Amino acid sequence: MADSKTAISADAEGAAAAGATPASPARKRGGLLRGALRQVALLPALIALIVIGSIASPAFLTVSNLTGVGGQISSLGLVVVGEALVMLIGGMDLSLESTYGLVPMVAAWLILPKDAYGSGAQLGVFAGLGLFVLLAVFIGLINAFLIVKFHLNGFIITLAMTIVLEGLQNGIVKGQSLFNLPHAFTWLGGATIGSVPVSLIVCAVVFVCVGLYLRYTRSGRAVYAVGGNVEAARAAGINVDRVQIGCYVAASVCAAVGGLMESGRVSAVTAQQGYGEGIIFTVFAAAVIGGVSLKGGRGNMLGAAIGVVLLGMVQNILNLANVSSYWVDAIDGAVILFALIMTRMVGGEKAATD
């Protein structure tokens, strides 16, 4: 997986391109140590949650509960992968939560008959899923070209795109939820292998593959270089625009697949999926407490995955303890603050401020 050595090597490439003096061996060892500490910064919080969950309910550590949590966090996890890629290049994409809802909605709408609030086109499932992929790529390209080629503010563009996509999601079905979805459409989010959800396996594979890509490939290391210093990356011969566009498109596809997982898990595409649920706040929280820098150029998939697991465990404990929904947001916020404090104490100042 990608780790702190990746970020350090990327930073070194950028520094060399800018004509800076390479870091001394002692400084490199210090950076590696800080990176290793960041990797374990959230472990105390996870251990505390396991203890609390065990006390809150004897069902917490059962196989059925843990696999259930895995199925619930898998869809969110894919969105976190996408957002982390964008954050690593120094950007942000608020529209992923609407992509998460709209793309599965459009695919289902094209597949279902009119009496099920579909379009009546009744496309085959695989044709609908093919258009699903194309739509996800198209949304990512729109964001990328407006931000990268036209140099428009990424926050404003993706905020506007969030609202546009959410309006389309509700408009095409008049606010209705789509049910009676074909088995092939719901398989990714609803199928299991033994007691393990397929969605959890796929999510884990995606985390691992993206992590390995970032660490071991030249283009993956370029992501860190671009996020660390754009001008230095250009001077080093990196095609910055291509890297940035690729990350926005990959993020959009990840969010769409995450939405497909969620649709399969609940056997429906609801009008509230994504934007109506406000998942983007949880996505950013998982990425940030997992050590992905808001400034770009630092972070890895292992940390992001731990952030997802941590937040999923918190939600599960609250459900098992029958905590009133009125208190959930306050407790979630407190957990995020606690995790950031632990990251600061264990991983050093930059782990919390970047």
316-344 average pLDDT score:
81
Q: Which sequence spans correspond to the domains of the chain?
A: 4-16+42-353
pTM: 0.88
In angstroms, the CA 233 to CA 225 distance is 6
Q: Residue 201 in 3-state DSSP?
A: helix
269-283 average pLDDT score:
93
Domain 4-16+42-353 adopts which CATH fold?
ABC transporter involved in vitamin B12 uptake, BtuC (1.10.3470)
pLDDT band at 41 (very low <50, low <70, confident <90, very high): low
pLDDT band at 8 (very low <50, low <70, confident <90, very high): very low
pLDDT band at 154 (very low <50, low <70, confident <90, very high): very high
**pLDDT score of 346:** 60
**3 state SS for 93-144:** CCCHHHHHHHHHHHHHHHHCCHHHCCCCCCCCHHHHHHHHHHHHHHHHHHHH
CA-to-CA dists, residue 206 to 46, 65, 107, angstroms: 22, 23, 22
Residue of higher predicted confidence among 7 and 343:
343
Place of tokens 């695919």: 107
Read off the pLDDT of residues 68-109 as tens digits, 9 standing for 90 and up: 999 999 999 999 999 999 999 999 999 999 999 999 999 999
297: left (phi over 0), alpha (psi -120 to 50) or beta: left
Percentage of the chain surpassing pLDDT 90?
71
Picking from 17-31, 78-92, 172-186, 303-317, which range would have the lowest pLDDT averaged per residue? 17-31
Place of tokens 């706040």: 281
344-353 average pLDDT score:
54
CA-to-CA dists, residue 116 to 6, 10, 85, 176, angstroms: 49, 51, 37, 10
Q: Give the chain's length.
A: 354
**pLDDT score of 45:** 77
